[in-house]
Amino acid sequence: MAILWQRQVLGRTYEVRGAGQTRRLYTDGVFHSQYNPNQPVTGSIWDLLLLPAFFYPRGKMKNILVLGVGGGAVIQQFQYFLKPENIIGIELNPNHLYVAKKYFGIKDANVSLIQADAIKWVKNNSNKKFDLIVDDLFGEEDGEPVRAIEANVSWFNALSRMLVKDGCLVSNFVSSRELKQCAYFKTRSVRQNFNSAFKFGASGYENAIGAFLKIPASAQVLKKNLIGTPKLNPTLKTSRLNFNMQRL
């Protein structure tokens, strides 16, 4: 892929690489985001952050919070498939926000991109309510992605309080092992905040996505809703979706 943009800041290297309409964001060689406006389904991790919304009826996800914007790939997917009324994206890194706007096309009026420490922002805005919260906060260590905050009791409770009574929390973990070490599995009071939970994965990727829902949910409902959505029907040979799931 050709390098379309590069910037070095405080010893870190940021790059946007492109091939055709595809855009990828890298920070110190760590792959953060990918999006192609002609292919809203990526076949990778960002699809997994989107899929839990389809446990719900069409039009349910009106207010969405994205913690960790990166290049904004999942925001573009929300815009394409969900058409929410409002999306708030919180991102600490101003270079990522620049890329999201300049190269990933995050410019719609219903999207607010805020440069802030997401952990502090959550603490200071705990009165806000969202239908869907995406926790995708990552940094890098030795060229590898690491979660920016442990998914402990305090963090789960803070995010749970910001959900509407039938909302959904979607959290990205580096691996299934890291997911299994989160507070949902260790603390009964955290589990009691949710009625159902699922793990999503994709072949070729180690990441595990936890979907924690305040409603009873089933794989059958998810599949039915995906089948009824153009470009997401997993039963078609042309489907680009790459996912597996299991109930937690």
Distance CA 99, CA 102 (A): 5
Distance CA 165, CA 129 (A): 9
Q: pLDDT digits over 199-237, tens only?
A: 999 999 999 999 999 999 999 999 999 999 999 999 999
The pLDDT confidence band at residue 7, using thresholds 50, 70 and 90, is very high
Enter the CATH code of domain 40-247.
3.40.50.150
**Above 90 in pLDDT, residue 143?**
no
The 10 Å CB-count burial string (b at 16+, else e) for 143-160 is eebebbbebeeebbeebb
Q: What confidence score (pLDDT) does residue 109 get?
A: 97
Query: Phi/psi zone of residue 122: left (φ > 0), alpha (ψ -120 to 50 degrees), beta?
Result: alpha
Query: Phi/psi zone of residue 132: left (φ > 0), alpha (ψ -120 to 50 degrees), beta?
Result: beta
Mean per-residue pLDDT for 110-124? 97
Q: What confidence score (pLDDT) does residue 125 get?
A: 96
* DSSP SS3 for 88: strand
Distance CA 69, CA 143 (A): 19
Distance CA 64, CA 207 (A): 22
User: What would you measure as the largest C-alpha separation in the chain, in angstroms?
Assistant: 49
Model confidence, pTM: 0.96
Q: Are 184 and 197 in contact (CB under 8 A)?
A: yes
Q: What confidence score (pLDDT) does residue 140 get?
A: 72
Q: pLDDT digits over 102-115, tens only?
A: 999 999 999 999 99
The pLDDT confidence band at residue 138, using thresholds 50, 70 and 90, is confident
Strands, sheet with 2-9, edge to edge from the N-terminal-most edge strand: 2-9, 12-19, 22-27, 30-35
Q: pLDDT digits over 14-34, tens only?
A: 999 999 999 999 988 888 889
